[in-house]
Amino acid sequence: MIEAAGLVEVHDALALRDELESVADRIESGESISEQSAADLLQRVSETRERLIDFLKRTQSPAAFRRAAEVLSEDLFAKGWYPGVTSNYADNFMAPEIGWRSVGADLAFCRLAGPGCGPTSMALVHRCMPNNCRPGETVADFWRRTTSPQAMEAAQAYADALLAIRQGKP
């Protein structure tokens, strides 16, 4: 039952993301929104982030953990929230290396899933296809090969922080 509730939280987070994208489109087209509406949306983003973090703490499913961590890694929910990553890295490398959060979510998932990220795993095929797979490579090997050292360092710190959250550590 916990997993189903968490997946509802992930679904709600994705619905909020879609709603905010719609609001952004309306603003770009010249429409304005009230300060109160903007404040309400920001509050909902914060509350949704907290619900997703709570789900990370209680889920027993590595796949559900990965999905919640993936949503938390999106710009909307991650903005200003970089557990485990120095602000210097986040400030200096956010734009060119935006993917480090997603890589970190993958690395955390793989530490939970174990063999589920091995050389013949679907997790690996999903990342390296259609033509970037190498024999014997794991998901972590793939990311080390295709990610800059700076982004990999930040991704690993983020993965460590996600797993610490899961263990109830600040």
pLDDT digits (tens, 9 = 90+) for 67-94: 888 888 776 676 666 666 655 554 444 4
Chain centroid, CA 130 distance in Å:
23
Asked whether the predicted pLDDT for residue 30 surpasses 90, the reply is no
**Could you give the 3-state DSSP secondary structure of residue 79?**
coil
Q: Sketch the domain layout of the chain as residue ranges.
A: 1-60, 82-170
pLDDT at 29: 84
This prediction's pTM: 0.75
Q: Which of 119, 157, 148 is nearest to 136 (CA)?
A: 119
Helix 100-113 with 149-166: angle, nearest 10 deg: 50
- Torsion, Cα 68 146 116 122, to 10 degrees, reads 90
Measured CA distances, 43 to 4, 36, 143 (Å): 24, 10, 34
> How many other CB atoms are found less than 10 A from the CB of residue 122?
9
What is the average per-residue pLDDT within 122-130? 84
